[in-house]
Amino acid sequence: MIRRLLARPTGCFAVVVLTLLVVLAAVSLVWTPQDPFRADPFQQWAAPSPAHWFGTDAAGRDIASYLLAGTRTTVLVAVGSGIVASVVGIVLTAIGSLTTRWVREGTAVLLDILVAFPTLLTAMLLTAVFGGSLGVVVVSVGLSFGVTIARVARGEIRRIARSDYVVAARASGVGPLGVLTRHLVPNAAPLFTVQLSLAMATAVLAEAGLSYLGYGAGSDTASWGNLLADLQTYIGVHPWSATWPGAAIALVVAALSLLGDAVRDATDPRLTTGDRAATGSPTATGTPASDDPPPGEPTDDDPATGAPGADRRAPDGTTTTPGVTA
């Protein structure tokens, strides 16, 4: 699977950028070119030079060192949100599929409702209660995507459970556990990975947005969002200085969302042959009839076609999430 991932230019780009991010975060633990917080009043707004690769900011801090130190925050927020989203998603999926009928139906309706709540508003609500912190960013993105994962997984699990190969497996005597481990988990895994990488991309954007609003990382923490917020104050004088943190955030976010696309392309057996762009929707050739609406219709419960559904995944893997615009 890794080889198939790397065979695609987008997958290769994503893996390289994210590996670099993690390596830089590890390096920043032991070394940065200069102290990221040391303000040098004689070096304000220095142009890029061998001493200051990306120049300095209004306080005379070395932007390159600060960016490097900020990678830790970015990795922390992304990974943390991913973990929270996974836990919430798996618990909600379990409740939504293993309990009694009434609980299942109730969970389904609740998920339909919760999925519409924008991430940023959840974050503002939690900030009003607990004050702004990276923890609030992680929890609000994690909760939002946990709900989305459970919402998307519901349709996918129903689809897989009704598919011919599961029916065949059952008929030939495979038990529920066997179906779960041999068929359900491997088939639902790509979808899960896609949502997870989107959750992480959203987390990086949300950190930037909330830090900008003053509710993200504290001022004693080096974060890309904080740097962007600091530089914004001087937009009239040094409009282009924000390029560094802005581009760094955009690069990581793009890598994370491309990783999702690439993982899905590399693992979806329906896509292993042929030009996906030419066939259009990945499921154009083989969408199994979903729940109640007419066959072939994009429906809420069919995450693969995904046009109007709550998961809002376009056939090319774009997912929009309410409030990602943080």
Partner 1 sequence: MTRFLVGRLLLLVVGLLVASIIVFATLRVLPGDVAQIVAGTQSTPAQVEQLRQQLGLDRPVVVQYLDWIGGVLRGDLGRSLVTNGAVGPEIAQKLAVTLPLAGMSLVAALVLGVPLGVLAAVLRRRAGGAVIGFVAQAVAAVPVVWAGMLLIALFAVTLHWLPTQGFPLDGWEEPGRAFSSLVLPALTIGAVEGAVILRFTRSATLTVLDADHVRTAAAIGLTRTRALLRHGLPSVALTVLAVLGVQIAGLLVGAVVVEQLFSLPGVGRMLVTDVGRRDVTKVQSELLVLTSLVLVVGFAVDVVHRALDPRQREVGE
Task: Compare residues 35 and 316 and give the one whose CB is closer to partner 1.
Answer: 316
Interface with partner 1 (CB under 8 A), residue from 215, 265, 287, 290: 215
Q: b/e per residue, 259-275, with b = 16+ CB within 10 A?
A: bbbbbbbbbbeebeeee
Q: What is the DSSP string of 209-222?
A: HHHHHT-SS-TTS-
Which amino acid, one-letter code, is at 51? A
Task: Compare residues 170 and 238 and give the one whose CB is closer to partner 1.
Answer: 238
Q: How far is the CB of 82 from partner 1 (least distance, A)?
A: 17
280: left (phi over 0), alpha (psi -120 to 50) or beta: left
Q: How far is the CB of 169 from partner 1 (least distance, A)?
A: 32
Task: Compare residues 120 and 157 and give the one whose CB is closer to partner 1.
Answer: 120
Q: How far is the CB of 78 from partner 1 (least distance, A)?
A: 13
The CA distance from 202 to 196, in Å, is 10
Which amino acid, one-letter code, is at 301? D
Torsion of CA 20, 253, 69, 24, to 10 degrees: 0
Task: Compare residues 16 and 128 and give the one whose CB is closer to partner 1.
Answer: 128
The CA distance from 135 to 247, in Å, is 24
260 binds partner 1 (CB under 8 A): no
Which amino acid, one-letter code, is at 302? D
**Count of Cβ atoms closer than 10 Å to residue 168 Cβ:** 10
Contacts of 166 (CB under 8 A, 6+ apart): 160, 179, 183, 184
Contacts of 61 (CB under 8 A, 6+ apart): 36, 37, 38, 39, 40
Looking at the DSSP bridge assignments, the partners of residue 313 are 319
Q: How far is the CB of 39 from partner 1 (least distance, A)?
A: 22
Which residues within the stretch 158-197 sit at the binding site for partner 1 (CB under 8 A)?
Answer: none
The CA distance from 321 to 206, in Å, is 12
Q: How far is the CB of 95 from partner 1 (least distance, A)?
A: 17
Q: Which range touches partner 1 (CB under 8 A), out of 26-34, 96-104, 172-180, 242-250?
A: 242-250
State the binding string over 116-145 for partner 1 (x if CB under 8 A, else -): xxxxxx--xxxxxxx---------------
The CA distance from 94 to 194, in Å, is 19
The CA distance from 29 to 181, in Å, is 39
Interface with partner 1 (CB under 8 A), residue from 33, 60, 135, 298: 298
Q: How far is the CB of 110 from partner 1 (least distance, A)?
A: 7
Which residues within the stretch 13-72 sit at the binding site for partner 1 (CB under 8 A)?
Answer: none
Task: Compare residues 192 and 244 and give the one whose CB is closer to partner 1.
Answer: 244
Interface with partner 1 (CB under 8 A), residue from 138, 208, 263, 266: 208
Q: Which residues bind partner 1 (CB under 8 A)?
A: 109-110, 112-114, 116-121, 124-130, 201, 205, 208-209, 212-215, 225, 228-229, 231-232, 235-236, 239-240, 242, 245-246, 249-251, 253-254, 257-258, 277-281, 284, 293-294, 297-298, 307-308, 312, 314-316, 318, 320-326
